[in-house]
Amino acid sequence: MELRSQPELMHTWRGIRAELRAAVGESTFHIWLEPLKPSEWDGRVLTLAAPRDTKTWITERFSGVIERCVQSVFGPTARVSFTTVTESRTSTRAASRARRDDDAVHQLCAPSGSFNPRHSFEQFVMGDSNHLAHTAALAVAENPSQAINPLFLYGPPGLGKTHLLHAIGNYLAAYSPDTVVRYATVEAFTTGFISALGSRTVERFKQLYRGVDVLLIDDVQFLASKAKTEEEFFHTFNAIYDTGRQLVLTCDRLPTQLVGIEERLRDRFQSGLVAEISAPDHATRAAILRKRAALDGLEFKDPAVLELIAESTPDNIRSLEGALIRVVAVHSLTGRELDHQLAAEVLASIRPRDDDRRQLTLDRIQQVVADHFALNRSELCSPSRAAKVTWPRQLAIHLARELTGQSLQSIGDAFGGRNHATALHACRRVSEQVRVNPESASQLAALLNALEAGHRGRNDRRD
């Protein structure tokens, strides 16, 4: 294939990136391969520029799959080589500013085809607590702007609201690929808007959100007390709604309960269908666990294990899956049979200390994780993306989410000012790794034990 210009090479690279993303999975691509840039194509070899601190790892671990993806575009004789990104200090600063501006505008804005593949309608377990929300979301996916507009989903955290947003996106990507879909949290919308103001790219920001067919917005309760962002979101809402395009919104409460948000916006939120998602009953919780176990390839010879977890974890789906992960982690760590007795012991160790867990601080979690991996707390919160820091940081963020009452944004702030999206990605990656990697499960179990033992010791001393 002959490429006459750098723009042509960049265009071709976008196609290769899509192949690569599908081959290695979203999380692996984001962590290791997203920074790669095409440097040169000489008609035979594609040279890729990689960050200095990950070039060796990428070359050793991913060169084969990268070359196969390159060959799918350039032909079977194509080869890949790697070089290190080298830029002058001035150009590096300029590029960093440009990336910050671009990332802020695009934060958590997923175009069609890049939604979480695990969050589909098929993987969503429907019960009495979410029947209306599921049915309405599916109707929107099948007939955007025709069935229900806007759709407002509300309920406590961890019950599946974000799952349904991604399910809509995945459905449209599969059955209506020409439909332009955008997903964002309100925190991402806010960050992007503020950055656009500072970088004078407001028109680009507006086009990003208003030039879509379907807009999916998560956690609209965080618009409260953000006057400028609320004003921009109000106009974005109107621009989409008034031209007959689809909006789907999620919130942790009813529109009428959104204190700190203007009445005109609350009125728009409730102008369509308002559907509640409440805590699942026992039968739904058990079905969720069976679905999750099947998805993860887990076999339970004793079906009472899942029933016990469902009975013992009534709060929300996040807690439910967390309990399942904990049981599987202890099984992987100890080699014990994955049976009713093991589950009972693990769940008994969790239940009495639920209140105590909420008292665990982010500082304490950071310190325990840092000590375990022979790092400094400052390294966990640093911008470093080195593997020796990234995985411990992700473990710490996951533990913070499970063991404290902090929001994802608050947790991200405590880890060097990271955003909601980064914190959520860390939690998902830990869950994935614990499921497939015994060493990761062992590390998570050891950290949980260290945190619980230390916390129990301090409580005993107070007594």
Could you read off the pLDDT tens digit of each residue along the chain, which spans 463 residues? 445 456 667 777 887 887 788 777 765 677 678 889 898 888 889 999 988 877 887 888 888 889 988 887 778 888 999 998 654 333 344 344 444 444 444 443 444 447 888 788 988 888 888 889 999 999 999 999 887 999 999 988 888 899 999 999 999 988 888 899 999 999 889 888 998 888 888 898 898 898 899 999 999 988 887 889 999 999 999 999 999 999 999 998 899 888 788 899 999 999 999 999 988 888 888 888 888 877 777 777 777 888 888 887 776 777 787 788 788 878 777 778 778 888 888 887 665 444 444 457 899 999 999 999 999 999 999 999 888 999 999 999 988 887 876 778 889 889 999 988 788 888 888 877 876 777 787 788 788 878 876 554 454 444 4
Range of the domain at 307: 282-353
Number of domains in the chain: 4
Last residue of a domain, one of 256, 276, 296: 276
Cβ partners under 8 Å of residue 171, min gap 6? 120, 121, 138, 141, 142
**Same structural domain for residues 265 and 385?**
no
> How does DSSP assign 353-368, residue by residue?
GHHHHHT--HHHHHHH
Neighbours of 122 (CB within 10 A): 9
96 within domain boundaries: no
Integer angstrom CA distances of residue 405 from 57, 154, 356, 400: 36, 20, 11, 8
In-domain check, residue 99: no
Given 56, 86, 116, the domain boundary residue is 86
Query: Is 94 domain-assigned?
Result: no
Residues 319, 312: contact at Cβ < 8 Å? Answer: no
- Final residue belonging to a domain, choices 310, 328, 353: 353
What residues contact 18, with CB distance under 8 A and at least 6 apart? none
